[in-house]
Amino acid sequence: MLGDFGGSVGSLLGVEITDDSIRMLHLGRQRRALRVAGWAVEPLLGTPSAGGGQLQTALRKAHERCATRQRQVALALPASQLICKVCQVVADPSGEAMEAQLLGLADQLFPFPLDDLALDFQLLGPSAQAPGMIDALVVACRQSQLDPFEQLFAQVGLELVAVEVDSVVLWRALTPGDSLVLQMENTQLVTHRWADGDVPQRQQNVMVSPDQWGEHIDGLATAQEVLLIGAAASPGRARSISERLGVACRMACPPALAGLEDIGPSMVLAYGLAQGGAA
The residue ranges of DSSP E strands in the chain, in sequence order, are 13-17, 21-30, 33-43, 72-77, 83-90, 117-126, 133-142, 159-165, 180-184, 188-195, 199-206, 225-229, 248-251
Number of domains in the chain: 2
pLDDT of residue 279: 58
Whether residues 119 and 187 fall in one domain: no
Say which residues have a Cβ less than 8 Å from residue 126's Cβ, sequence separation at least 6: 133, 134, 135
Neighbouring residues of 98: CB distance < 8 A, sequence distance ≥ 6:
89, 90, 92, 121, 123, 134, 136
- pTM for the structure as a whole: 0.89
Q: What is the pLDDT of residue 167?
A: 93
> Is residue 197 domain-resident?
yes
**Which CATH number fits the domain that encloses residue 119?**
3.30.1490.300
pLDDT at residue number 124: 85
**Residue 235 resides in a domain:** yes
Position 201 in a domain: yes
pLDDT value at residue 10: 37
Identify whether residues 187 and 234 lie together within a single domain.
yes
Distance of CA 186 to the CA centre of its chain: 18
List the one residue out of 192, 108, 110, 170 whose CA is nearest residue 143. 110
Q: Is residue 154 part of a domain?
A: no
Pair 240, 180 in one domain: yes
How many Å separate Cα 54 from the centre of its chain? 23
Q: Are 34 and 40 in contact (CB under 8 A)?
A: no
133, part of any domain: yes
pLDDT score at 9: 36
pLDDT < 70: residue spans in the chain: 1-10, 46-52, 93-95, 195-198, 221, 279
pLDDT value, residue 221 = 67
32 assigned to some structural domain? no
3-state secondary structure of 194: strand
Measured CA to CA, the distance from residue 235 to residue 159 in angstroms comes to 37
pLDDT score of 198: 67
Supply the range of the domain harboring residue 232.
Answer: 175-253
Tell me whether residue 30 is in a domain.
Answer: no
Q: Answer yes or no: is 68 within a domain.
A: no
Q: Which among 140, 157, 183 is the end of a domain?
A: 140
**CA 79/CA 58 separation, integer angstroms:** 24
Residues 257 and 264 sit within 8 Å (Cβ to Cβ)? yes
Note whether 128 and 193 are same-domain residues: no
Whether residue 131 is found in the same domain as residue 187 = no
pLDDT in tens, 207-256: 888 888 888 888 776 778 999 999 999 999 999 999 999 999 999 999 99
- Domain of 195, CATH number, reads 3.30.420.40
Question: What pLDDT does residue 48 have?
Answer: 62
Q: Looking at the DSSP assignment, which residues form a beta bridge with residue 163? A: 75
Given this model, what pLDDT does residue 3 score? 52
3-state secondary structure (DSSP) of residue 248: strand
Q: Are residues 89 and 136 in the same domain?
A: yes
Please check whether residues 136 and 179 belong to one and the same domain.
Answer: no
Spell out the residues 6+ positions from residue 183 whose beta carbon is closer than 8 angstroms to its own: 170, 189, 190, 191, 192, 229, 230, 269
**131 and 199 assigned to the same domain:** no
